[in-house]
Structure 1
Amino acid sequence: MEYSHRYHAYPTQEVAEWLEHQLDVHRQLYNHVRWDYENSPEDDKPSEYDQNNKLPEWKRKWPVFGELHSKAAQAIVAG
């Protein structure tokens, strides 16, 4: 049996706001990836590879996505 440990976190107000902002940016990128996929023609759906290649363009268009680490953004696309 594998045990997992849980710890209470008591972040400061500043850290809590930063974490909430990061979650919001991740959510926005996830929703944009889904929107891009759902609104593509049925016979031309973008693959994970295609969407990963769009990330630099999206980061230029929406600078808030540039706050995410590249591996985190790629994990969102894969997810």
Structure 2
Amino acid sequence: MEGLVDINRLASGEAGRALLERVFQDDSERFLRRLRDRVDRVGIDLPAIEVRYQGLSVQVDAFVGSRALPTLWNSATNFLQFD
């Protein structure tokens, strides 16, 4: 058979592996682009995913005033203060 390629043999080297990754990535991108174009042409609204959190708390170190400005001096001072 002329049109067959042994992927296992091709992927054994670094160059072959890089080529296969690039080919499959390009193919995936092309597929997703075509799918998006078709969905847009037909006018289908895809379902949205919603993420909700309960009991979530966030804690940050924040600076107020002149220490909040991103200068070299403030960055060095902030770095030394927290380490």
TM range (shorter): 0.3 to 0.5
Pair member with larger Rg: 2
| TM, length-normalised to structure 1 | 0.39
Give the structure with the higher percent helix: 1
Q: Structure with the greater relative contact order (CA < 8 A, sep ≥ 6): 1 or 2?
A: 1
